[in-house]
Amino acid sequence: MSSITVMDEVLANKIAAGEVVEKTMNVVKELVENSIDAKSSEITIKLIDSGVKEIEVSDNGIGMDEEDAKLAFQRHATSKLKNLDDLFYIESLGFRGEALPSIASVSNITLKTSDGKKGTLVTIAGGKAMTVERCDLQKGTTITVSDLFYNTPVRLKYLKNLYVELAHIVEYLNKMALSYPNIKFTLINNEKTLLQTDGNGDLLKVIYFIYGVDITKKMIAINGENDDYYITGYISYPEVTKGNRNSITTLINGRVIKNNELNKCIIDCYHTYIHKDRYPVIILNIDVDPILIDINIHPTKMDIKFSKMDTLKELIIKLITERLEELTLIPEVSVRDNYSVSEVHRQIVNKEIIPEPHEEKKEEQVYEEMTLDFEVAEKEQKYESIKEAVELSSKKEEIPKENKVRIKKMIPRGVVLLTYIVAENEDGMYLIDQHAAAERINYEKILKEMKEEPIIIDLLVPIKIELRPDEYILIKERFTILEKYGFRISEFGFNTIIIRSHPAWIKEERAEDIIKKIVDIIIEKSSFDFDQFVWRMAATTSCRMSVMANTYISKEEQEWILENIRYCDNPFTCPHGRPTIITYTRYELERLFKRQLD
């Protein structure tokens, strides 16, 4: 008797569900993508207990007739692929025909749909019994998924807590709202609205709804193209960063993807602008001919293979680095307006704003409607001013290459806390971190000298460094790298090296300390990256060569720092991404002293 049998459809769907449905976010993702493919302009997601108890996704799309409604739950049934050639020109979000049967196999599903001619109600319990009925004619589709994983208790047990599940859903829908600003998204959990966009096609406004005022006003528009790709979107000023890579949203033909190579390329564009453990806020929408990409490499469809990745990376680097080089990146210290929404709330709660006696509504209703109207009106008003400012900053200002000074001349007025130079010009007051600024000046000077033929200084007393056997093997392998930059090294007995000379950009008084640190960098056991080594060598040397904090410097030294920082390629941050300078504009200073009351 044969030991091989064909799995029944329910069992096969449950196995497929292990790939397609891992958490509640996966269900939301598949249903929302189907709604987008159905040409919906409004999509509403209602959750009960973060979707564990119930997920309802409704849209105003083209809907389905009765036959399609029944076929939708058969495995590998899809309206998006007709033949093999279609696989190479995929423009829809869902296409595998696995999502609905997989979801139905581990939950109870109700599908209510109408194509405008006839309404159909389909009910499925655990992927088995299907009932089909007639229903009302409202065009669109509503799918309700309840009791997720009720028949697979092991999977249910390993769902994260409700807050984590909800966080995954909110993160995904934020990215979808950024992908499709022309669609009105509404997300409700336990009757509380968590996200609502207006679907007017304004990407900056969606950024405003998701990230708020402070981040939105620090975004800059980018766009550009080459023979293969067209890119639009927004990048943040370096001062706006997040603690994880989730702040980077990359979209390919409207599809949210996660590609480590692309993320690394974007992060590298901010090298030395931000700290290595921080990440910019990025929204990039990349349009490309579908034949140049392959999205059929994983059931979640979150990763993509590119046939021309090099040209895409070149375009991204060009667009982001050029925009950063055109901006004045001095963080402004802003004065918050005390008369804000919270102040209005306080006045209402304390009955400083009292409803008229003849008003028939209850006081609580008056409070809710007044504050809601105020918040909506204020939010719209704020957005219009933010949009105007972002559009103004997005206009490119060409700086002549022969006079590329990115900071106006500043006059030093003293030093506070033996660390911060106080300076001014016609625009306002500046605070300059003396160590960070000197470090940036020295860093760019060293990088320039490293590209030239090294000037070598012989040591009167060679520097001897003893190493562990494993470290000794690594540095012997990398002798030629150090020699390229002007170091003369030789072996000296067992597991010991001698440094006999070094490049002129290392100051003699700090030579031993700096050289030992450079040796530590090059013998690190992690995979060796030449570009990272050059950056760390230059950054380490510049740090140890620069005036430190809590050190008195003369007026002449202040003037030297202020003048030289102006001519740096990036005068706004030190090599490690810390700011070198912040400003109080004249306007903000006058607001502080109540000379400006608007």
Where are any strands of DSSP class E within 190-344?
Answer: 192-196, 219-225, 229-236, 241-242, 248-252, 255-257, 279-280, 282-288, 293-294, 305-306
Taking residues 552-578, report their average pLDDT.
95
Phi and psi, residue 247, nearest 5° = -75, -10
Question: What confidence score (pLDDT) does residue 18 get?
Answer: 46
Alpha helices per DSSP H over 523-583: 530-545, 555-565
Contact by Cβ (8 Å): 183, 199:
yes
Q: 332 pLDDT exceeds 60?
A: yes
Q: Which of 5-9, 159-163, 422-426 comes out lowest in average pLDDT? A: 5-9
Is the model's pLDDT at 41 over the cut of 90? Answer: yes
Q: Look at residue 81 in the predicted model and tell me its pLDDT.
A: 43
Give the per-residue pLDDT at 346. 45
CA-CA distance, 187 to 50, in Å (whole number)? 11
**H or E element: which one contains 323?**
helix 309-326
Q: Contact 518/446 with Cβ under 8 angstroms?
A: no
Fill in the amino acid letter for 251.
L
Mutual angle of helices 363-394 and 203-211, in 10-degree steps: 130
Q: Where does the pLDDT of residue 44 fall: very low under 50, low under 70, confident under 90, or very high at 90 and above?
A: very high
Phi, psi of 430 (to 5 degrees): -125, 145
pTM: 0.77
Half-sphere CA count of 79, side-chain side, radius 13 A: 16
pLDDT of residue 239 exceeding 80, the answer is yes
For 412-565, CATH gives: 3.30.1370.100
For residues 327 and 403, give the distance between their C-alpha atoms in angstroms, rounded to a whole number.
15
The residue type at 337: D
**Largest alpha-carbon pair distance within the chain?**
98
Residue 185: band (very low, low, confident or very high) from pLDDT cuts 50, 70, 90? very high
Mean pLDDT score across all residues of the chain: 82
Contacting residues for 462 by C-beta, under 8 A, at least 6 apart: 498, 499, 500
Q: DSSP string covering 418-444, please? A: TTEEEEEETTEEEEEEHHHHHHHHHHH
Secondary structure (DSSP) of 280-308: E-EEEEEEE-GGGEE-TTSTT----EES-
pLDDT at residue 17, rounded to an integer: 46
- Lowest mean pLDDT across 84-93, 147-156, 382-391, 527-536: 84-93
Q: Contact 169/24 with Cβ under 8 angstroms?
A: yes
**What's CA 88's distance to the chain center, in Å?**
29
| List of residues 6+ apart from 499 with CB closer than 8 A | 459, 462, 463, 464, 465, 487, 488, 489, 515
What is the reported pLDDT for 387? 81
Question: Do the domains 9-196 and 212-326 sit in the same CATH topology, yes or no?
Answer: no
Helix or strand holding residue 103 (H, E): helix 99-105
CA 497/CA 520 separation, integer angstroms = 13
Do 512 and 499 contact (CB within 8 A), yes or no? no
Q: Is the pLDDT of residue 518 over 80?
A: yes
Closest by Cα among 514, 551, 589 to 433: 551
Q: Which of 91-100, 102-111, 459-468, 526-535 has the lowest mean pLDDT?
A: 91-100
Domain 9-196 annotated CATH 3.30.565.10: yes
Question: What does the pLDDT look like over 337-354, one tens digit per residue?
Answer: 544 444 444 444 444 433
Cβ–Cβ < 8 Å for 457, 510: no
Q: What is the mean pLDDT of residues 551-560?
A: 95
Q: For 212-326, CATH number?
A: 3.30.230.10
Comparing 143-147, 200-204, 586-590, the range with the smallest average pLDDT is 586-590
Q: Which residues does 403 contact at the CB level (< 8 Å), separation at least 6?
A: none
Average pLDDT over every residue of 519-547? 87
Q: For residue 67, what are its two tokens?
A: 């036959």
Is the predicted pLDDT of residue 533 greater than 70, yes or no? yes
Would you call 493 exposed, middle or buried from its count of C-beta atoms within 10 A (0-12, 13-18, 19+)? exposed
**pLDDT band (50, 70, 90) for residue 4:** low
Give the pair of three-digit tokens for residue 335.
């004065």
Would you tell me how many other CB atoms lie within 10 Å of the CB of residue 504?
A: 12
What percentage of the chain reaches a pLDDT higher than 70? 79
Tell which wins on pLDDT, 384 or 487: 487
Residue 350 C-alpha from the chain's centroid: 41
pLDDT tens track for 190-231: 999 999 998 999 999 999 989 988 899 899 999 999 999 999
Q: Which residue has the higher pLDDT, 391 or 51?
A: 51
Residue 336, pLDDT score: 52
Interior/surface letters 176-199, b for 16+ CB within 10 angstroms, e for the rest: bbbbbbebbbbbbbeeeebbebeb
pLDDT reported for residue 364: 47
Over range 22-44, report the average pLDDT. Answer: 91
What ranges do the domains of the chain cover?
9-196, 212-326, 341-395, 412-565
Give the whole-angstrom CA distance, residue 430 versus residue 411: 10
pLDDT, one tens digit per residue, over 64-112 is 888 888 887 775 555 554 444 444 445 556 544 567 888 888 889 999 9
Give pLDDT tens digits for 284-296.
999 998 888 877 6
- pLDDT per residue over 408-452, tens digit each? 999 999 999 999 999 999 989 999 999 999 999 999 999 999 989
To which H or E segment does residue 472 belong? helix 469-477
Residue 350, pLDDT score: 47
Is residue 179 over pLDDT 60? yes
> What average pLDDT does this structure show over 180-188?
95
Instruction: Assign 251 to helix, strand or coil.
Output: strand
